Amino acid sequence: MILLSSCLAGFNVRYDGGNARRPLAVKLLAVGAAITVCPEIMAGFDTPREPAEIQGGTGADVLAGRARVVTKSGADVTANYLMAARQVLAIAQKHQVTVAYLKQKSPACGSKVIYDGNFAGHRIAGRGVTTALLQQHEIRVFGDEELTKEHVAPFLSPAVVKLLDKHNLVE
Ligand code: SF4
**What pLDDT sits at residue 163?**
87
Q: What are 25-29's contacts with CB under 8 Å, separation 24+?
A: 25/101, 25/147, 27/164, 27/169, 27/170, 28/2, 28/4, 28/152, 29/4
Tell how far the Cα of 166 is from the centroid of ligand 1, in angstroms: 31
Tell how far the Cα of 108 is from the centroid of ligand 1, in angstroms: 7
**What pLDDT sits at residue 78?**
98
Q: Does residue 13's CB lie within 6 angstroms of at least one atom of ligand 1? A: yes
Which residue has the CA at smallest separation from atom 6 of ligand 1? Answer: 7
Q: Does residue 6's CB lie within 6 angstroms of at least one atom of ligand 1? A: yes
Tell how far the Cα of 41 is from the centroid of ligand 1, in angstroms: 8
Q: Which residues of the chain have pLDDT under 50?
A: none
Q: Does residue 19's CB lie within 6 angstroms of at least one atom of ligand 1? A: no
**What pLDDT sits at residue 169?**
56
Tell me the C-alpha distance between 102 and 7, whole Å: 9
Tell me the C-alpha distance between 156 and 83, whole Å: 30
8 A C-beta contact, residue 70 and residue 50:
no
Q: Where are the alpha helices (DSSP H) in the chain?
A: 23-30, 39-42, 59-63, 78-94, 129-136, 149-152, 158-166
